[in-house]
Amino acid sequence: MSASSVLIVGCGDVGSRLAKKMLVSGWQVSGLRRSVSELPAGVTPVAADLFDPQCPATWPTEAPDYLVYCAAASQHDEAGYQAAYVGGLKHVLSWLAERGQAPRRLLFVSSSGVYAQQQGEWIDEMSATEPQSYTGTVMLEAEQLALASGIPASVVRLTGIYGPGREWLLSQVRQGYRVTEEPPLYANRIHAEDAAGLLAFLIKADAQGHALDDCYIGVDDAPAPLAEVVAWLRQYMGVTQWSDSERVRRTGSKRCSNARARALGWAPQYPSFKEGYAAILEGRDA
C-alpha cells in the first residue's frame, strides 16, 4: 500500500516545517513554490507561479490525498492579497479540476485578521467575522472560496506567527520599544513550529477518520497584553534603555481561543510566548 500524500502549495517557512513533519511520518510530500531549490530535502518539487493560470508541467500526475494552501502575499496591498489568496486558490482549484483530481481534504491557511473585535474579547471559531481592512476582507473571501470548492475543506486561522526569521518584536524591544499599557492591548501568537504542527495534526486526524470542523484557530494557550510580553523580553534580554519616541498603540485587541483544536487532541509545543521566545533567544530552535 502506497504512502499517503500531501501537496503543500506555498511551501515557505510554515509549509517547509509542515513538509519535514510529514516526511518524518512517512508521507509523500510535494511542495509548490517558485524557487523549488529552497524546498527541504525529500520534498518532490512543483515549480509554479500561482499568478499564472497555466497548470504547471510538474503538477502531480496522481491526486494528492491532502492539499494545504498556505501561500503568502508577496505584494502587500489589496491587489497583492487578491492575487495570492483568491486568484492563486482559484488557479489551484482549476488545475485539480483539469486533472480530474479530488483530494480527500483541503486545508486553507487563513488569518485571525478576519476578526475585527478590539475590546479584549475572547474569540473562537463561532465569533463574528466582520473585517474592517482589505487584508481580512480578502482572506474571508478566500476562505469562502475554499469552503465552497466541492472538496471537503477546513480553514485554519493562524494568529501572529513568530519564530526564527520572524523576530520583529525582538528587534523592537532591543531598541527600547514602548507600548501602551492601559487599556491592555492583547496580542495573539503562535510559534511557526506550532503552526506547522497544528496543520500536521489536522491532516493526520482526518486520515485516521476523525471528523474535522470547517474552521480552527491556530494560537497558543496564553494571549497576553503586549506590554507584558515586552516587559518580560526586556528582562530576559537585559534591555534597560527606553526609546525616546512616544508609546506605540497598535489597533485591535482580542484574545483568541484554541479550545476547539485542543478538544481534538492538539497541544502547542510552545504554550506561551515565554517558552517560544526563550527557545529563539537560546538558539534552541531553527
CATH of the domain at 50: 3.40.50.720
In a domain, 209, yes or no: yes
Number of domains in the chain: 1
Measure the CA–CA gap between 163 and 70, rounded to whole angstroms.
Answer: 17
pLDDT band at 199 (very low <50, low <70, confident <90, very high): very high
The set of cell numbers assigned to 112 is 485571525
pTM of the predicted model as reported, rounded to 2 decimal places:
0.95
Task: Quote the pLDDT of residue 51.
Answer: 93
135 in a domain, yes or no? yes
- Is the four-CA dihedral 14, 16, 20, 23 of positive or negative sign? positive
Q: Assign 246 a pLDDT band (cuts: 50, 70, 90).
A: low
Does 169 map to a domain?
no
pLDDT confidence of residue 168: 86
The answer to whether residue 229 sits within a structural domain is no
Task: For residue 150, tell me if it sits in a domain.
Answer: yes
Q: Which residue segment(s) compose the domain that 92 sits in?
A: 5-162+190-221+254-269
Q: Per the domain annotation, does 194 fall within a domain?
A: yes
How high is the pLDDT of residue 197? 98
Q: Closest Cα to residue 255, out of 220, 231, 215, 286?
A: 220
pLDDT exceeds 80 at position 245: no
Supply 212's cell numbers: 474535522
Average pLDDT (14-22) is 97
Query: Which cell goes with 231?
Result: 516587559
Q: Is residue 176 part of a domain?
A: no
pLDDT digits (tens, 9 = 90+) for 77-123: 899 999 999 999 999 999 999 999 999 999 999 999 999 888 899 99
Q: Is residue 276 part of a domain?
A: no
